[in-house]
Structure 1
Amino acid sequence: MCSPAPCHVVTSLRRRRMGNTARSADDDEIVDHMPLVGHVVREMMSRVPAHVSRDDLTAAGLAALVQAARSFDDSLGVPFAKYAVRRIRGAVIDELRAVDWASRSVRRRAREVERTRAELAGALGRVPAHAEIATAMGVPVDEVLANDQDVARAEIIALSSPAGSVIADLLPAHGPTPEQMVEHREQLDYLVHAIAELPERLRRVVEGYFLQELPMAELAAELGVTESRISQIRAEALTLIRAAMQRALAAEAADAAKAAAAPGRAARRVEAYVSAVMNRRDAAASALGSPATA
């Protein structure tokens, strides 16, 4: 027998699977707006040191996209894309704060530069030039400039708090409930497994086009195909991802049975892919020591 809170979560998940047909619409919002994650991550990567993990920021952005699809309220009068991109950007900034992206070497160099700058300022009676700091430290002037840029980026991130911003105005006043957190995590897991289980070429197009924002021409050159073929591969990948997410979170068991019974080679391929995604999800859950909920 479980405690009231876990029981409430399980009941909510069962009720969602049995009758919440709006879930498939949320799935479509998530898949259709995946490019927003790549856009925000790409924008942020241009403002932080090269050692920051793009994958970590992308994961945070995907999680925020899932949460945005679940919590979006069209009565706010804000388009979903605008609402989602602000949620994504806020999550990416939070991830940067949480991981403390400035490496030890960056912090050590920043302290050395500031100490040298202070000593020279005292001796010269003015703010020293970058070249003077570099000469005193015995390093190239480009290294001093790079240090100042890293420090400026850190300040930008520190000052980018959602509190008091438009983001805060758009978000609910309360945090997610325990059952909503479970749903968010579960939905993100499905999406991650669905992308990972794609055939190699399809996965590369999804990652490159949606998450890295590579031009079609660049992906076409990399894969040795035409841009038209990249467009076809992208559409095929999205069809598979939608099928996996809709099956995993089917509102009714009859929907899944109907899809499984559909004739044709294409339907069999989708069925094989969906089964592979579910197996991957189950294997991941077993490895973590917790059974899958579906």
Structure 2
Amino acid sequence: MNPPKNDVPPGSEALIVQHMALVGHIVRETMSRVPSHVDRDDLTSAGLTALVQAANAYDPERGVPFNRYAATRIRGAIVDDLRSIDWASRSVRRRSRELDMTRANLATVLGRTATTAEVAQAAGITLEEVIANDEDVSRAQVLSLSASEDDMIGERLVSNAPDPQAMLEHRERLTYLTEAIAELPDRLRLVVEQYFLAERPMGEIAETLGVTESRVSQLRAEAMVLLRDALNMALDPELVEPAARPNGCAARRRQAYFTAVADRHAAGLRGQMTGQMTGQMMSAPSTSYNASA
């Protein structure tokens, strides 16, 4: 791809030709860290335009080497171009959070990563909706908006490795999920434990409960909704949809379940604190009374 030709002073053209390889290097560096749907030609065009602008604005009397000055301008232009790519709407991000929660729930009960079809079934949406949401988020999560202009391009781009905060949040979700399963009504808890943990067929579970397989499927779906809402109530209350009849029996049972999960979690935290205090007391150096002192 040739650099833009408009308004290029003769003295600047040599700088542009000499440093076109710099654009290619920065584009290759960027392409290794962004999703595959990002178009290389678009980034190259943005980089070449920035190179031309840098050549036109360059002032050698400032003592800054041109390659360093141009690299900063090129990286900035590429970052700006990436930021303009289909940022996800608020609804897409909200659905993404819900699907992430569903995936975490299923991973715990299944002991493995859930398939996209299982996520769709548990979330109560179609397989196509899950795939479309994942694609929207992938397009959106290209850059970290908190980067400064002086950062290297590798530091501006989102890393796939979980950060400590994300790992802490994941552990907290798993803790709440375990507690939420324990507080489920007996029949719902049995279905969850037997279907997801013991991996028993629905037919066997139906025989154990004395109901039809269709009823087991309904109980499983009801349990998944309760688990999802319990985790959302604890970690992201804005995602919990209000009950259709706030004063009805179903709403009161639902609220009692949320309260039981919260109480169990609080009791667990108190137990951890007590254990830590006991451990500290036992590990503290002992002092003996010296009668002759």
Alignment TM-score, normalising by the size of structure 2: 0.42
Structure with the higher helix share, 1 or 2: 1
Alignment TM-score, normalising by the size of structure 1: 0.42
